[in-house]
Structure 1
Amino acid sequence: MSEMVGEVVTLVIMAFALGMDAFSVGLGMGMYELRLKKIFNIGITIGLFHVWMPLVGLIAGKFLSEKFGVFATVIGGLLLIVLGAQMIWSTMKKGEEKVISPVGFGLLLFALSVSLDSFSVGLTLGIYGAKTIMVILCFGIVATVQTWAGLLLGRKVQGWLGRYSEALGGAILLAFGIKLLALLW
């Protein structure tokens, strides 16, 4: 029982880290006048993408795990480290951020862009042998709530917080990648 609780806590923390980009981008988008119905739809769409993308990654990861064993686990850990480092690095870059309109195709593109990292994490978790239902529930629910929080909070605060939240998410993914590799040695 305690092993399952530990896995759920780990998955929620990972989901929180992955949802940071949805939160930070939602924070910026929330500064535009969006109706509550639109905020609700954006959150649901992002949540669904955070279910679908890790599911595809989990399936691919389980396949790789059966074929490549420990080598695949090393690749998964390295993917998390690279992804976390990339998230941290992107917060340090100075430049214009493009804002995608959260309507129609723009909403789908927005949801895909903030959930691509959950594919690689799903790949890693599939290699590691995580429970599929727990992963997609945790990722989907947490991403939805974080998106809503970002959009709603964006109506109230300045955009500087979003940059720091993405760096925090990157640091968490980086730590989990290191932890995964450390378990091998």
Structure 2
Amino acid sequence: MNILALILLAFAMSTDAFAAAIGKGVKIKKPRLTYAVKIGLTFGAVEATTPIIGWFIGRAASAYVEAWDHWIALIILVALGIYMIRESFSSVEDEDSTPQKQSFILLLITACGTSMDAMAVGVGLALVEVNIAIAALLIGMATFTMVTIGILLGSALGSLIGKRAEAFGGVILILIGIWIFVSHTL
């Protein structure tokens, strides 16, 4: 997988966290940069860790699925992409509109929830030729950047961009899945 595909993958993986960050930012009248960076670091660290976990799981199973790896990567990435697109059209869940500081544990749980797709992508990455350290680093950096920006811009942009970003990320995942499949079958 080339560096451009990895960068696109990294930003696609960060879109659900970006949408969540915008949702949190909407509730904060004037978000401080230190608060946004703290949340960005938390999400980035979790999002960088989960594809590594998925990669180890995928590597353990790769010997059994080597002939089908491009099909598996295609199915995982297309399914995640469709899920993200579908989620982008769902209504935003009702939350308490009162801005309040989030506990670190709740923040970590939210970060884990938005990174499950990155773990599944890690499984898929184990089946293709990719440096998982670089992929995880790019995913973590993209997520840190997108979440920090999402928190800061949330009050100005609201949910308008968040859901569209998630749909865009879903399209990117589908395209990467197709690219992996085509590159392995030609």
TM exceeds 0.5? yes
Using the TM superposition, give the Cα deviation of residue 8 of structure 1 relative to its aligned residue in structure 2, in angstroms. Answer: 1.7
Q: Which moved more, 1:79-88 or 1:174-183?
A: 174-183
* Alpha carbons of structure 1 residues 7 and 101: separation in structure 2 relative to 1, 3 Å: farther
What are the within-5 Å matches in structure 2 for residues 75-86 of structure 1? Answer: 75-86=72-83
User: How many residues get paired?
Assistant: 180
Whole-Å Cα distance in 1 between the matches of residues 118 and 5 of structure 2? 15
Q: Which moved more, 1:11-20 or 1:67-76?
A: 67-76
What are the within-5 Å matches in structure 2 for residues 14-33 of structure 1? Answer: 14-33=9-28
Question: Given residue 164 of structure 2, which amino acid in structure 1 is its aligned partner?
Answer: Y
Q: Cα deviation per residue 1:127-185 (whole Å; 9 max; x = unaligned)? A: 11310221111111111001001111113223211111100000100111122222333
C-alpha RMSD of matched pairs (Å): 1.9
Whole-Å Cα distance in 1 between the matches of residues 35 and 92 of structure 2? 28
TM-score (ref. length: structure 2):
0.89
The unaligned stretches of length 5 or more in structure 1 are 1-5
The unaligned stretches of length 5 or more in structure 2 are none
Q: Percent identity?
A: 27
* Alpha carbons of structure 1 residues 59 and 69: separation in structure 2 relative to 1, 3 Å: same
Using the TM superposition, give the Cα deviation of residue 73 of structure 1 relative to its aligned residue in structure 2, in angstroms. Answer: 2.9
1:37 is matched with which residue?
34
Q: Which moved more, 1:88-97 or 1:57-66?
A: 88-97
Using the TM superposition, give the Cα deviation of residue 11 of structure 1 relative to its aligned residue in structure 2, in angstroms. Answer: 0.7
Question: Given residue 132 of structure 1, which amino acid in structure 2 is its aligned partner?
Answer: I
Runs of 4+ in 1 over 3 A off after TM superposition: 97-102
Whole-Å Cα distance in 1 between the matches of residues 94 and 169 of structure 2? 18
* Alpha carbons of structure 1 residues 94 and 160: separation in structure 2 relative to 1, 3 Å: same
**1:132 matches 2:129:** no
Whole-Å Cα distance in 2 between the matches of residues 98 and 66 of structure 1? 45
TM-score (ref. length: structure 1):
0.89
Q: For the Cα contact (< 8 Å) 2:19–2:162, is it kept in 1?
A: yes
